[in-house]
């Protein structure tokens, strides 16, 4: 088992746990010096709890994130795109594996994480609760959602927890291929027929608000940012990541002749983007289970979990006689 093991969620009415001030000061000085924290190192309970929460959510987002695009594998236009999408979806599931491994180093068993996803106790990214209605939606996901993920993950790969940073470095390499694949699909549609351009514009319109939500609530509403940034788990605030995304991708979106569905969107004199605040009530609903596809996503995940139970049993007990179900 690991150094100071995961203790699960503290009861709601518990008095805040008092850490040893000397150990805490040493820990914070180490982070300040830019050194990595490794699984066997001493760490405050809250650091461990926050990391488990964030890495686990990230892992869940990768497996659930495979679902909207996954529905396009059988319908991808042409064999080359089918192969590329298949590889991308497989990569995303692989990212979940890397992230569950990183979260496990903090002491929470994988089975418990997967159960918490299915029961709704753990969250996953808002954005994967929307449907991918057309092939253009899958292009927008691979281009812009992957772009947003890269902005977040490149920043956080410079963070303080060794296993998470190393997983993120590898993930970012693969995500950059996904981004190129998505951009190529978007360019093909944008330079195609009028119908294809229309499809792409409609997909962008559908994904815009979820994309603005993707980076998390505005900094003034964010619960965890201050603590996470102090401990270098999070290396940029939600608003900073959103601004970075707009700076990098608005010019590219415009270059393709697309219109961003926000009349207020413009760069102001301070070099920051002004935009219409997306509906944060919708965000709260979606991340709490009431989005257009939450129920479907969890049902599919649950089905995969149940159908895979015999494989997990076989892996955990190789000597056991395991009979695969016939159907
Ligand atoms: N979705 O205090 P903050 C991908 C929750 S991977 C759902 O600001 P924090 C790859 C938050 O948990 C995408 N919930 O939170 C791919 C908290 O609730 P809680 C996932 C969200 O942690 C591409 C509450 O709101 N990436 O896309 C979201 O400081 C294409 C208050 O918020 C990661 O998970 C949200 N968007 O900042 C796959 C990266 N935002 O837990 C397939 C790691 C906030 O107290 C296809 N995570 N909440 O109940 C992070 O960097 C951070 O957790 C943030 C949120 C930035 C997402």
Per-residue pLDDT tens digits for 147-157: 999 999 999 99
- Over residues 39-57, the mean pLDDT reads 98
Half-sphere exposure of 181 (CA within 13 A, CB side): 23
Query: In this structure, which long-range contacts are made by residues 254-259, counting pairs with CB atoms below 8 Å and at least 24 apart in sequence?
Result: 256/186, 256/187, 256/190, 256/191, 256/200, 257/190, 257/197, 258/190, 258/200, 258/201, 258/204, 259/201
Statement: residue 245 has pLDDT above 50: yes
How much of the chain exceeds pLDDT 90, in percent?
89
User: Ligand 1 centre from 152 Cα, in Å?
Assistant: 10
User: Ligand 1 centre from 75 Cα, in Å?
Assistant: 30
Specify burial of residue 168 (Cβ count, 10 A radius: 0-12, 13-18, 19+).
Answer: buried
User: Ligand 1 centre from 215 Cα, in Å?
Assistant: 7
Instruction: Give the pLDDT of residue 315.
Output: 87
Residue nearest to atom 33 of ligand 1 (CA): 58
User: Ligand 1 centre from 124 Cα, in Å?
Assistant: 7
Residue 13 within any structural domain of the chain: no
Residue 47 within any structural domain of the chain: yes
Statement: residue 170 has pLDDT above 50: yes
Residue nearest to atom 36 of ligand 1 (CA): 214
| pTM of the shown model | 0.94
Residues touching ligand 1 (Cβ under 6 Å) are: 53-54, 57-58, 61-62, 65-66, 69, 92, 123, 125-126, 141, 145-146, 149, 152, 213-217, 222-225, 228, 234, 238, 287
How far out from the chain centre does Cα 165 lie?
14
User: Ligand 1 centre from 285 Cα, in Å?
Assistant: 14
Instruction: Give the pLDDT of residue 308.
Output: 93
CB 186 within 8 A of CB 143: yes
- Over residues 160-171, the mean pLDDT reads 98
- Intra-chain end-to-end CA distance of the chain, in Å: 37
274, containing H or E segment = strand 273-274
Statement: residue 323 has pLDDT above 80: no
Average pLDDT over all residues of the chain:
94
The CATH number for 163's domain is 1.20.1260.10
Whole-number Cα distances in Å, 262 to 161, 217, 258, 273: 38, 18, 12, 12
Task: For tokens 């301070």, name the residue.
Answer: 270
Residue 131 within any structural domain of the chain: yes
Instruction: Give the pLDDT of residue 2.
Output: 41
Which atom of ligand 1 sits closest to the CA of residue 241? 56
Q: Could you give the CA distance from residue 105 to residue 163 in angstroms, rounded to a whole number?
A: 8
- Indicate the pairing of strand 273-274 with strand 266-267: antiparallel
Condensed to tens digits (0 to 9), the pLDDT of residues 277-302 reads: 999 999 999 999 999 999 999 999 99
Q: How many domains does the chain have?
A: 1
Mutate to test the pocket of ligand 1, among 52, 55, 57 (most ligand atoms within 8 A of CB): 57
Q: Could you give the CA distance from residue 141 to residue 226 in angstroms, rounded to a whole number?
A: 29
Specify the DSSP class assigned to residue 144. I
Q: Report residue 183's pLDDT band, with 50, 70 and 90 as the boundaries.
A: very high
Instruction: Give the pLDDT of residue 3.
Output: 43
Q: Report residue 6's pLDDT band, with 50, 70 and 90 as the boundaries.
A: low
Residue 39 within any structural domain of the chain: yes
| Angle, CA 117 vertex, CA 60 and CA 204 arms, to 5° | 50
Instruction: Give the pLDDT of residue 200.
Output: 98
Residue nearest to atom 52 of ligand 1 (CA): 54
Instruction: Give the pLDDT of residue 75.
Output: 97
C-alpha closest to that of 253 among 162, 166, 182: 182
Q: Would you list the DSSP string of 211-240?
A: HHHHT-S-GGG-SSHHHHHHTTSS-S-HHH
3-class SS of residue 20? coil
| Angle, CA 112 vertex, CA 123 and CA 2 arms, to 5° | 110
Residue 305 within any structural domain of the chain: yes
Residue nearest to atom 7 of ligand 1 (CA): 125
| Angle, CA 64 vertex, CA 58 and CA 50 arms, to 5° | 20
Residue 293 within any structural domain of the chain: yes
CA dihedral 143, 144, 147, 152 (to 10 degrees): -150
How much of the chain exceeds pLDDT 70, in percent?
92
Mutate to test the pocket of ligand 1, among 54, 120, 216 (most ligand atoms within 8 A of CB): 216
User: Ligand 1 centre from 7 Cα, in Å?
Assistant: 22
CB 44 within 8 A of CB 7: no
Q: Could you give the CA distance from residue 300 to residue 65 in angstroms, rounded to a whole number?
A: 12
Residue 124 within any structural domain of the chain: yes
User: Ligand 1 centre from 108 Cα, in Å?
Assistant: 19
Structure tokens at 141: 């996901």
User: Ligand 1 centre from 150 Cα, in Å?
Assistant: 13
Statement: residue 12 has pLDDT above 60: no
Q: Could you give the CA distance from residue 298 to residue 19 in angstroms, rounded to a whole number?
A: 37
User: Phi and psi of 266, rounded to 5°?
Assistant: -165, 160
Residue 129 within any structural domain of the chain: yes
- Over residues 159-182, the mean pLDDT reads 98
- Over residues 37-47, the mean pLDDT reads 98
Structure tokens at 205: 């319109």
Domain, as residue range, for 299: 21-316
Condensed to tens digits (0 to 9), the pLDDT of residues 62-105 reads: 999 999 999 999 999 999 999 999 999 999 999 999 999 999 99
Q: Report residue 322's pLDDT band, with 50, 70 and 90 as the boundaries.
A: low
């Amino acid at each position: 088992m690991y150094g100071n093991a995961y203790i699960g969620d503290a009861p709601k009415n518990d008095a805040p746990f008092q850490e040893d001030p000397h150990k805490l000061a040493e820990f914070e000085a180490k982070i300040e010096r830019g050194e990595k924290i490794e699984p066997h190192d001493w760490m405050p309970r809250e650091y461990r709890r926050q990391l488990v929460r964030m890495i686990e959510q990230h892992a869940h987002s990768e497996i659930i994130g495979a679902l909207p695009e996954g529905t396009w594998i059988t319908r991808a236009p042409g064999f080359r795109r089918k192969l590329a999408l298949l590889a991308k979806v497989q990569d995303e599931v692989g990212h979940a594996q890397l992230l569950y491994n990183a979260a496990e180093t903090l002491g929470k068993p994988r089975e418990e994480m997967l159960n918490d996803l299915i029961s709704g106790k753990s969250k996953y990214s808002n954005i994967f609760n929307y449907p991918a209605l057309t092939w253009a939606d899958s292009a927008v996901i691979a281009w812009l959602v992957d772009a947003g993920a890269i902005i977040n993950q490149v920043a956080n790969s410079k963070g303080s927890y060794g296993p998470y940073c190393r997983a993120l470095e590898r993930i970012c390499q693969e995500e950059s291929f996904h981004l190129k694949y998505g951009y190529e699909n978007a360019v093909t549609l944008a330079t195609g027929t009028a119908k294809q351009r229309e499809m792409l514009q409609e997909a962008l319109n559908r994904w815009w608000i979820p994309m603005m939500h993707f980076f998390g609530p505005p900094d003034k509403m964010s619960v965890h940012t201050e603590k996470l940034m102090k401990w270098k788990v999070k290396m940029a605030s939600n608003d900073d990541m959103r601004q970075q995304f707009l700076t990098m991708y608005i010019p590219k979106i415009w270059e393709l002749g697309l219109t961003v569905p926000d009349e207020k969107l413009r760069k102001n004199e301070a070099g920051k983007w002004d935009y219409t605040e997306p509906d944060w009530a919708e965000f709260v609903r979606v991340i709490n289970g009431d989005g257009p596809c939450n129920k479907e996503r969890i049902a599919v995940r649950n089905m995969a979990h149940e159908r895979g139970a015999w494989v997990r049993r076989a892996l955990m007990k190789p000597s056991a006689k395991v009979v695969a179900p016939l159907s």
